[in-house]
Structure 1
C-alpha cells in the first residue's frame, strides 16, 4: 500500500498535466497487463493467446491517446517527455518487465505513434536543442569578447594564462550531442548539431582579428589565454569518437589553424621587428666570414624574447615535429658549398624536385651569394631547372618556399632565351 502511495506521489509531482497523464496511463498499462499474466492467463486456453490480445488492446488505447496529445500544441518539455516514453520508458520499462516479456511479443505491437507524428516531435526537439547549443556558444563568446573590451586580464592557473571559453561550452555541446543521438537514434542529427561549432569558431576568428587590430595593452596575455582555448577546441574536434561529419571536421580544423596563426603572427611579428637588423646580416659575405658572431647575437636576442612566453602553457609553445623541415637548410647549405657547375645543377634540380613550390626568384637569391657564377652559368642552371620541372615528379614534401616572401627587386636578370 505504501509503495503504491509513493508511486502516486511521484506522478503527482510531475510538472505538467500532460506528463502526469502519460505517466499514469503508462503505469496503468503495466499494472493491468501484470494482472492478466498473474490472474487471467490460466483461465483461458493457450490458443487464445490472451496476454498478447490484451497487450494489443492496451497498446492501441495508449497509442490513440498519445496521438491526440502529440497533435496538440505541446511545448518542449512535454515534447521531450512523450519522446522519452516512446523511446525509453515504454519499451524498456513497461513492456520489458520480467513477468510480461515472456508472454508479450513486443515487436508485434507496432509503434506508439505514426511516423508523421513522431517526425514532427523529433523535429521540434532537435530544433530546440540546436538553438540551445547556438545560444550557449555565442553567449559564452560574447562574455569573453566583453572581457577583452573591458581590459580584464585573463586568470592565471598553475603559472599560465588560461580562458574558460572551451571549458564552459564543450561539455555542454558534448552532453547535448549524446542526448540527441540517444533519443533520436540518429548520427546525422548529431552531425547537424556540431555544425554550430563551425559557425561559432568562424565568429571566434572574426572577434580575435578585431582584437588584434585594436591592439589593447594586455593583448599578449589575452592571446596567450586564447591559445589554450584553441588547443582544447582542436583536441575536441580531432577526437574520432566525436560525431563530426568529414566536411564539418575539416572546416573546424581549418578555422582553428587560422585562429592559432592569428596569435602566432602577432607574437612573431613583434619578435621579427626586433630581430630584423640581425636578419640583414644573414646570407651575406660578412656572415660567411664571421658567422659565429652573427649567430650568437641572433640566439641571444631570441632568448631574451622568449621570456615573454614564460606564462604561455607549454603545449602552446611547442614547435613543429615535422622532420622534413630539418632537411631544408642542409640542402641550401650544399648549394652554397658546391663549386662544380654540374654538381650544382644536380643539387638545384633535386631541391626543385623535392620542393616544387620553390620559385626561380628564390633560387636566384641563394645563387646571388655565390660570387663565382657567370651569366652563362646562371643560364645553364635555369635551363636545367626548367627541364627538370617539366618532368612528372614523385610525391613531394609539403609546401614551404611558397610561404617565404622574396622581394621582387632582390635579384633581376635577363632571360637566357
Structure 2
C-alpha cells in the first residue's frame, strides 16, 4: 500500500507544518459590534445602575430592602467561583453539578461597579465572571420583586449584556488559542463555559420578568464549537509551502490538509484532552470540525472536471490515506474509534470518480502499451541489435509493460514511454481499494490479451519481411526470450486460472514456435540431403551418415547460446524431435525390404546404435525430451522380432506410448520385413483397432509423418 509517509515525509523543500495547532498564527477575531456598543453603554454605568434608584417612592422602600437582602446571598456563590481559579486535575462533569441555584449566604461586601468589571475584563481577569453572573442574578431578583420600571430594567439589563459580550470574547479568545494560555487561565475559561452551560439549564426552569429580554440559553459551549470550526478552517486553508516540482496544486493542497489535520489532532489528544472537561468532547469536536472542512473542500473540488492525476489523487485520499493513515494512525485510532467521521465524499460521488479513474487508466494503459510495442517493432525493422543481458539477447518490452521495477539496460527509445505500464496501473488501483484493484485487473487482462495478439502479428510481419537484415536472427532470439518475462510476470502477479492463463498466453506460444521454426529452418534444410543418404545407400553406412548429421547440428548450436536456458533446452528438444522424425521418415519410405531374419536383426542393431547416438547427443546439449527415447528402439524391436505374437505385443505397447502411431505407419515398418506373410501383416495391423482408451497424444510425433 502506498503509505502516508510518501506524502508526509521527505519532499525536497517541503517543511513540516509550522506551529502545529499554533493558534497564535490565526488572525485576531474582529471585535463584534455588540462589544463596541458595550463600551459606550458601560462608560456611563456604575454599580448603582444595577440597584434600586435612591429616588424610589416610600411605598417601594420595603421592596428595595428585600432586594438588598437577597443580594447578600451571592457571597457564597462568589467563594465557589473563586475556588474555580485553581482547577483540579479531575474536571467535574456538568451533570454532576446542581442545576438549581444554591442557597444564598450573606455577602461579605458590595459588588464591583460596572466600570470596575469592564476594566477587569479588558485586562483579561476572567475571575470576575462570577461577579458578572451575580449581577445577572441580582437583576433577575429585582425584576421578580417588582418596584422597578420596565425601562429601567431593560436599561440595566443592557449593561449586564454588555459585560457578557466582553466576557464571551475574552473566554473564547483564550479557548481559540488554548496552548498559549497559562494553565490557570485556561482552567478559568473552561470553568466559565461550564458554569454558563449550567446557568442555561437553570434558566430553562422558569420564565423571566416580562420586561427582561430572554438572553438565555447563551450556548457558550456551542459558540466554542464554532470557534473550533473557525480554527480548523484557518489551519486547513492556510497556504501550503511551495509544492516540489512535478506536484499539482491539488496534490500540494491535499498534502498540506492531511498533514495539518493529522498533526493537529495528535496535539489535541496529547495536550488538550487532559485539560478539558469530558463534556467538551474536545477530541470529537476538533475531529468533526477538521473533517467537515476537509470534506467540504473535496466535495467542491469533485464538482470540477479533474485531470487524470487529480482524479486518482482524490480517490487515493478519500479511500486510502485519510481513513488508514490519518483516522487509523497509531496515535488517533483509539481516540476516534467512536466518533464516526465517515467518508470525505458521499458513496455516489466515490463510485462516479472510481468509474472515471478506471476509464482513464485503461485508456492510458492501452495507449502506452501500443506505443511501447510500436517503438520495439521500429527497432527490429531499423536493424538495431538488441542488448545483451547476462549473455542473452534482451528485450525490454515485457518489462516495460508488466514489471513493477525497471531492469538494467533499458532501451534508449523505450525510456520515453511510461515504464511498468500494467503494473503501475494495477498498483494505483490497489492503492485506492482492493475492490478497485480487482475491477481494473479484469479490464487490464483484456487489454493485455489484445496487446499480445498485436505483438504476435507484428512479429510475424517482421519474420516475413525482414529476412535480409543483419540483426534478423538475434532480434528473433530477443523476442523469444521476451516471452519468458511475460509468462513469469503474469503467472506471479495476476493469479488467474490455468485455462485463462493458457488462453491469454496463446499468442506468445505461437510467437515462440514461429521464432524456433525460423531459426532452425536453415539447419533443417542442411540436414535434409544427409538424411536422404540412408535410403540412397540402402542403409549401408548408417553410422557414418548419422555422425555427419550430428556434426552438422553441433556446428550450429553455439549461435543459440544467446537464448535463455529454458528456451535453448526447448529448441534442442525441437531438434531432437526433428532428428527422430526424419529418421522414422527414412524407415517408412518402403525402399528397403529385408527377407532374412539376420538382415532384419542387423538393421535393428544399426537403428539401436543410431538411437543411442541421437539420444546421447541431444541430452548432452540440453534436450529434456525423454518421451522420444522409445521411438526408435521399439521400431528396431518390431523389425528384429520374428514371432507374430511377440510383434503384436510390441506394436500394442508402442501404440500406448505414441497414440498417433497409425496403421499406415505400421504398414511401412512391416514392409521392411520381407519374410512376413500378408495374413500375419493384417493380423498384426488389426492390433491397432483395439481401443486402448488413450486419447490424443500429449506431443505429436507420427502425426508429423506422412506415409504413402
| Bin for the TM-score computed over the shorter chain | 0.7 to 0.9
Residue 4 of structure 1: aligned partner: 17
TM-score normalised to structure 1 length: 0.83
Q: Quick check: 1:230 aligned with 2:531?
A: no
- Call closer, same or farther: CA 1:76–1:286 in 2, change over 3 Å: same
Q: Deviations over 1:29-77 (max 9, x none)?
A: 445544654326643336x755335534543443344233223211112
Residue 277 of structure 1: aligned partner: 529
Q: Quick check: 1:213 aligned with 2:464?
A: yes
1:196 to 447, 458, 467: 447
- Call closer, same or farther: CA 1:302–1:22 in 2, change over 3 Å: closer
- Deviation of 1:201 (Å): 1.6
TM-score normalised to structure 2 length: 0.51
Preserved CA contact (<8 Å) 1:29 1:58: yes
Q: How does 1:102-117 map to 2 (within 5 A)?
A: 102-105=334-337, 108-117=340-349
Q: How does 1:34-113 map to 2 (within 5 A)?
A: 34=266, 36-37=268-269, 38-39=271-272, 42-45=275-278, 49-52=281-284, 54-56=286-288, 58-105=290-337, 108-113=340-345
Preserved CA contact (<8 Å) 2:561 2:568: no
Residue 650 of structure 2: aligned partner: 347
More helix by share: 1
Between stretches 291-300 and 305-314, larger displacement belongs to 305-314
Distance across 2 between alignment mates of 1:122 and 1:163: 34
Residue 249 of structure 1: aligned partner: 501
SS at match of 1:124: helix
Larger radius of gyration: 2
2:385 to 132, 146, 153: 153
SS at match of 2:538: helix
Residue 413 of structure 1: aligned partner: none
Distance across 1 between alignment mates of 2:274 and 2:19: 29
Preserved CA contact (<8 Å) 1:191 1:243: no
Residue 414 of structure 1: aligned partner: none
Q: Quick check: 1:286 aligned with 2:587?
A: no
Q: Deviations over 1:346-375 (max 9, x none)?
A: 211222233322322222232233323332
Residue 704 of structure 2: aligned partner: 404
Residue 693 of structure 2: aligned partner: 392
Q: Quick check: 1:138 aligned with 2:370?
A: yes
SS at match of 2:468: coil
Distance across 2 between alignment mates of 1:251 and 1:381: 41
1:369 to 664, 672, 695: 672
Preserved CA contact (<8 Å) 1:357 1:399: no
Q: Deviations over 1:370-411 (max 9, x none)?
A: 32333222221232221x12x534x8862323541314xx2x
Q: Deviations over 1:210-234 (max 9, x none)?
A: 1222223332222122222223323
1:179 to 425, 428, 432: 428
Q: Deviations over 1:173-206 (max 9, x none)?
A: 3343233223231334224324333222211111
Q: How does 1:297-308 map to 2 (within 5 A)?
A: 297-308=548-559
SS at match of 1:356: coil
Distance across 1 between alignment mates of 2:488 and 2:454: 19
SS at match of 1:371: coil
Preserved CA contact (<8 Å) 1:275 1:301: yes
Select the structure with the greater relative contact order (CA < 8 A; seq sep ≥ 6): 1
SS at match of 2:569: coil
Q: Quick check: 1:330 aligned with 2:633?
A: yes
Preserved CA contact (<8 Å) 1:353 1:396: no
Q: Deviations over 1:134-161 (max 9, x none)?
A: 2332222212222222233334456543
Preserved CA contact (<8 Å) 2:480 2:512: yes
- Deviation of 1:79 (Å): 1.0
SS at match of 1:161: strand
Preserved CA contact (<8 Å) 1:237 1:252: no
Tell me the C-alpha RMSD between the 2 structures.
3.2
Between stretches 24-33 and 246-255, larger displacement belongs to 24-33
- Deviation of 1:262 (Å): 0.6
Residue 267 of structure 1: aligned partner: 519
SS at match of 2:342: coil
- Call closer, same or farther: CA 1:55–1:167 in 2, change over 3 Å: closer
- Deviation of 1:20 (Å): 4.6
Distance across 1 between alignment mates of 2:256 and 2:547: 82
- Call closer, same or farther: CA 1:268–1:174 in 2, change over 3 Å: same
